[in-house]
Structure 1
Amino acid sequence: MEDPSVSPTFLSPEPDDEPIKQLPKEILLRIFSYLDVVSLCRCAQVCKYWNVLALDGSSWQKINLFDFQVDIEGPVIENISQRCGGFLKFLSLKGCQSVGDISIRTLANHCHNIEHLNLSECKKITDSSILSIARHCSKLTSINLDSCPNISDNSLKALADGCSNLTEINISWCHLVTENGVEALARGCPKLKKFSSKRCKQVNDNAVMCLAEYCPDLMVLILHSCDAITDASIQKIAENCPNLRKLCVSKCAELTDQSLIALAQHNPYLNTLEVAGCHQFTDLGFQALGRNCKYLERMDLEECNQITDLTLAHLATGCPSLEKLTLSHCELITDDGIRQLAAGSCAAESLSVLELDNCPLITDQTLEHLVTCHNLQEIELFDCQLISRAAIRRLRNHLPNIKVHAYFAPVTPPPTTTGHRPRYCRCCEIL
C-alpha cells in the first residue's frame, strides 16, 4: 500500500491562488530545496502553482524514505525516479522491502547523477539491480547493500567496472560475497575509503590483502565476524593504509598481539578500535597501542579476557583523548586498574562512557576512584556483584547527571507453605 503523503499528486487550480504566485518562482524553488519528502508533498497539495514547483526535480536532490519503508511500493520509486531524473544525488531506500529489481533499473535509467545510494535491507533486489546502477550511474561514490542476501560477487565486479569513483561500500550480511568479488572491487575502485563486510564469512585474508594493496586511502575497515582473518592481512592493512582511522575486527578470534603491534607502528592516527571477542590479545599489544596511538577515542575490548590492569595503565598514560571504553567480561580487571585509569589524563579530560559489565573483581572502590572523572556521563555495571547501591548513590552525589546501568541479583524469597508464588520486583535498574 502506498503512503499518500509521499505519492506526488496534481491538483486543480484554486480560484484564489494569485497571492501565492507573488513570490518569485526562483525563491520558492530555493525554499522547497530545504524541505523533506513529507513537507514537499504537502506543499504540492496547496495549489496547482505550488504543485508544479514542489514536484520540480530540482527540489528532489536528496530523498530519504526510511520513515515510510513499510508502505513504499515499487511504482512510487519509479515515479520519483522519472520526476527527479538527473537532479537526484542522494537516495535512501533503507528497509523498503517491497522494492525490487524493476524499480531500481528504472532508477538507474533516469538518475544518472546519483552519488549516494542506500539499499540496506532491500531484500528483493538482486545482482540485476546493481548491474544497472553500475552501467548508468558512473558518478556513484557510496552504496549500502547491508542485508541484501541476493547480492553476490557479480555485483562487486560490476561496480568495479562502472563506478571507479566509489569511496564507500557496505556489504555486511551479504553471505554470497567471496574474496573474488572483493578483489575485483579493490582493483577497480582504488579510491575506496570505507569498506564494511560484517558477517561475510567468505571475506578472508586474500580479500583484505587486496584492499590493502589497491586501496591505500582506506580509512574505515569493518570486518566484524570475518573469522577467517589472521594477523597477516591486518599487518598488510597497517603497513599500506596510513590513513586508517577506524578498524573493527570483533569476533576475529585468530588475531594475536602481532596485529595490535603492527597498528601501533604504522597507524598513529587510529581513533576507533573494536576488538570484542579477540581472546588472544594481551597486555603486550595494548601496551604498544598506548605508546603510539595518542588519538584513540573509542575502544571496545569486550571479552578480551587476557588483559589485566596493566592495559588500563598504558591507556591512561598514552591515550588522553579516550572517550568511550568497553571492558565488559574482562574478568581480570580490578579496582586498581580503574584507579590508574581514573588518574590518567583521559579520565580528567574526555572519558564519558565506561562499560564494566561482568567484571567480577571490581568493588565499591572502583566507583570511589571514578568520582574525579567529571566528564563521565554513563557507566554500565550489569552483573558486577561486588558493587552496592550505596556506592552508586555516592557516585551520583559527585556526578549528578551520570546514568548508571546496574543489575542487582534478586534476593532468594523465603519458603512459603501457602502454595502461592512470592512476589518481588525487577532488579535491572537505570539509576
Structure 2
Amino acid sequence: MNGYQVPPYSNGNSGNGAGPSGNGGGGSGPGSKFGSVSLLSVDPPNINERLPKEIILRVFSHLDLVTLCRCSQVCKFWHQLAFDGSIWQNVSLFEYGKDITGAMVETLAKRCGGFLRSLNLRGCQNLNDSAMRAFSYHCVNLERLNLSDCRKLTNEACKHIRSCQNLLSLKVNSISNISDDGVRYLAKCERLVELDMSWCNISDEGLTRLAQSCRHLAALQLRGCRDITSHGVAELSRHCTGLRVLSLYECGHNIRDEAMQALGANCPELRTLCLSHCGHVTDTGMIGLAAGCGQLRNLEVAGCRLLSDSGFQALARGCPQLERLDLEDCVQVTDITLAALAAHCSHLRILTLSYCELLTDDGIRQLAGGLCAPESLQVLELDNCPHITDTALEHLVACHALQQIDLYDCQQITRSGIRRLVGHLPNLKVHAYFAPVTPPGQPEPRRRRYCRCCCSLL
C-alpha cells in the first residue's frame, strides 16, 4: 500500500472478517500494521427527530412566503409542516400581484382554512369572483381582507364576502365595478371597524344602508365617491357615532356645510378628517365642525377656497389638539389664521400653507412665537407664498424641532437667508428651487415694429 486508507464502514459483520480488529482472513489489513482501529458510526443529527414539531412550526411561522415554499421541497415532513394551516394566519401576495391567478388563490383558501386571519391580495388583477367564493366557504374566520386594485371583481364578490361574519377590516378601493348593490351585501358584515371604498360607484343609498348596519365603523375612506352628498354624510354621522377617521377627498361640490355640522353634532370622537377639494364647504361648516369635534388631530382642507380666517379661528379655539393641518390653496387665509394657531394649538407638528398667497413675514413671526413653535412644529410647507422673505426665516430660528421646510417658488427667499437658517438648525431639510441665472446675451438690433391699430411704422 502506498498510503493508509480507512476501510468502508459496514453496519453488519462481513463474512470476510475485515472488521475493526483487523483479524480477518487476509491478515494484511490496517489492523495488522497499526494495531486495533475502532471506527464508530456517527450519523449527522436529524433535525426532524431532535426538534419537536411545534418548534419547527414556530420557526416556519417567521419565514416569508418564498422561503416557506422552498422549505416545503426539502422532504415530505417539511412539506406537511410548511402547509400547516396554523402558520398561514397572515398572508400577503401583494409582491406577486400580477402573477397570482384565481386558481392559486382558491388553492390557498383550501390550505389555510379556518386558520387564516389576515389576507392581502392588493393588486392581484387576475383575481375573479370565484376565488372569493372559495374564501367565503373555507376561511370563515377571516378578520382583515385587502382587495385594493383587484379590478376584475364585481358585486358578486361582495355577495361572497358577506359570509365572513368576523371581518373587521375590508379594503375594496379602486374597484369601479362595486356599486350600491355590492354595498348591500357588505352591510351584512356588521362587525366591520375599518372600510375603504374609495373610487367605488356608491351613492347616498349605499352609504346609508352601510351606516345602518355597520354601527361599529371607526374608519371610513370614501375618496373620489362623487355621488355622495351631505345627506349621506349626515346619515353616516347619526348611525356611526364612534367614527374616528373619515376621508371625503375629492367628493366634489356635493359635500357642503350641512355635512360638517352633522359631524360636529354626532361624532365627538373624530380624529382625522379629509375634505380636500370639497370646494363648497364654507366657514359656517368649519364652525359647526369645531363646535363638536374637540378631539380632532388631523384636518386636510386643501383647495377649499371658500374657507377664510373666521372658520380657522373657530377651528383653532375648538380643536386645540390639532397635530396636522393642510391649508394648501386656501387662498383667503391671512396672518390672522396663523395668529390663532399660534395661540391655541400647542401640539401642531405639520402645517401646510402652500399657495396661501396673502401670508406675510408677520404671520410667520406670530407662528414662530406661538405655543407649538419651540418643541412641536416639525414640518412647514410655504411653497408659492410670494410675500415671504428672509425675515420670516429669521423668525423660524426659534423652532428648534423644525425638521423640514418647503420654499419652492418663494421668489423673495435667497440662498443666504437659507444658509443662515440652516446655520442655527443644522438638521433642517430645506426644499427650495432657484432658477439658474441666464447670462446676458448680445443686444439685438432695433427692429421696426408695427402698430396693430393703424399698421403705421413706428
Tell me which of 81, 88, 94 is aligned to 1:53: 81
Partner of 1:70: 98
Output the CA distance in 2 between the equivalents of 1:164 and 1:308.
45
| 1:416 CA drift (Å) | 6.7
| Secondary structure at the counterpart of residue 224 of structure 1 | coil
Partner of 2:52: 24
| Secondary structure at the counterpart of residue 400 of structure 2 | coil
| Residues 58-101 of structure 1 deviation map (CA, whole Å, 9 limit, x = unaligned) | 10111111222232222221121110011111111111111111
Is the contact made by 2:257 and 2:286 (CA closer than 8 Å) also made in structure 1?
no
Corresponding position: 1:187 with 2:212? yes
Tell me which of 179, 198, 203 is aligned to 1:172: 198
Is the contact made by 1:17 and 1:47 (CA closer than 8 Å) also made in structure 2?
no
Is the contact made by 2:248 and 2:275 (CA closer than 8 Å) also made in structure 1?
yes
Corresponding position: 1:323 with 2:339? no
| 1:384 CA drift (Å) | 0.7
Is the contact made by 1:272 and 1:298 (CA closer than 8 Å) also made in structure 2?
yes
| Residues 178-208 of structure 1 deviation map (CA, whole Å, 9 limit, x = unaligned) | 1111111011111111111111110111211
Tell me which of 158, 169, 173 is aligned to 1:142: 169
Output the CA distance in 2 between the equivalents of 1:44 and 1:401.
49
Partner of 2:335: 309
Is the contact made by 2:151 and 2:177 (CA closer than 8 Å) also made in structure 1?
yes
Partner of 2:235: 210
Output the CA distance in 2 between the equivalents of 1:120 and 1:17.
47
Tell me which of 281, 287, 297 is aligned to 1:271: 297
Indicate the structure (1 or 2) with the bigger Cα radius of gyration: 2
What amino acid is the match of 2:172? L
| Secondary structure at the counterpart of residue 73 of structure 2 | coil
What amino acid is the match of 2:110? Q
| Residues 366-396 of structure 1 deviation map (CA, whole Å, 9 limit, x = unaligned) | 1111122111111111111111111111221
Partner of 2:433: 407
Which segment is superposed worse, 288-297 or 39-48? 39-48
| 1:46 CA drift (Å) | 3.4
Partner of 1:87: 115
Corresponding position: 1:372 with 2:398? yes
Corresponding position: 1:117 with 2:145? yes
Output the CA distance in 2 between the equivalents of 1:258 and 1:18.
74
Counterparts of 1:228-247 in structure 2, within 5 Å, are: 228-247=254-273
| Residues 234-267 of structure 1 deviation map (CA, whole Å, 9 limit, x = unaligned) | 1011110111001111101111111221122111
| Secondary structure at the counterpart of residue 374 of structure 2 | helix
Corresponding position: 1:250 with 2:276? yes
| 1:289 CA drift (Å) | 1.6
Output the CA distance in 2 between the equivalents of 1:218 and 1:19.
51
Is the contact made by 1:36 and 1:63 (CA closer than 8 Å) also made in structure 2?
no
| 1:49 CA drift (Å) | 2.1
| Secondary structure at the counterpart of residue 372 of structure 2 | helix
Is the contact made by 1:194 and 1:221 (CA closer than 8 Å) also made in structure 2?
yes
Corresponding position: 1:222 with 2:229? no
Q: TM-score, normalised by structure 1?
A: 0.90
Corresponding position: 1:336 with 2:356? no
What amino acid is the match of 1:290? A
Corresponding position: 1:42 with 2:70? yes
Segments of 5+ residues of structure 1 without an aligned counterpart are 1-14, 418-431
What amino acid is the match of 1:359? C
| 1:16 CA drift (Å) | 7.3
Question: Does the C-alpha gap of structure 1 residues 323 and 31 become closer, same or farther in structure 2, counting only changes over 3 Å?
Answer: same
| Secondary structure at the counterpart of residue 273 of structure 2 | strand
| Residues 305-350 of structure 1 deviation map (CA, whole Å, 9 limit, x = unaligned) | 1010110111111111111000000001111111111111211111
Question: Does the C-alpha gap of structure 1 residues 216 and 344 become closer, same or farther in structure 2, counting only changes over 3 Å?
Answer: same
Structure 1 residue runs of 4 or more that deviate by more than 6 Å after TM superposition: none
What amino acid is the match of 2:390? D
Q: TM-score, normalised by structure 2?
A: 0.84
What amino acid is the match of 2:243? L
Output the CA distance in 2 between the equivalents of 1:48 and 1:356.
62
| 1:102 CA drift (Å) | 1.7
Output the CA distance in 2 between the equivalents of 1:21 and 1:413.
79
Output the CA distance in 2 between the equivalents of 1:191 and 1:120.
22
| Secondary structure at the counterpart of residue 289 of structure 2 | helix
| Secondary structure at the counterpart of residue 76 of structure 1 | helix
Higher relative contact order (CA 8 A, sep 6+): 1
Output the CA distance in 2 between the equivalents of 1:96 and 1:57.
22
What amino acid is the match of 2:62? Y
Q: Please give the root-mean-square deviation of Cα atoms over the aligned residues, in Å.
A: 1.6
| Residues 125-179 of structure 1 deviation map (CA, whole Å, 9 limit, x = unaligned) | 1111111011x2111111111111111111111111x2111111111111x2111
Tell me which of 118, 134, 157 is aligned to 2:184: 157
Query: What is the identity percentage for the equivalent residue pairs of Structure 1 and Structure 2?
Result: 52
Is the contact made by 1:21 and 1:49 (CA closer than 8 Å) also made in structure 2?
no
Is the contact made by 1:120 and 1:145 (CA closer than 8 Å) also made in structure 2?
yes
Question: Does the C-alpha gap of structure 1 residues 50 and 262 become closer, same or farther in structure 2, counting only changes over 3 Å?
Answer: same
Give the count of matched residue pairs.
400
What amino acid is the match of 1:408? F
| 1:33 CA drift (Å) | 2.6
Output the CA distance in 2 between the equivalents of 1:347 and 1:269.
21
Output the CA distance in 2 between the equivalents of 1:95 and 1:272.
28
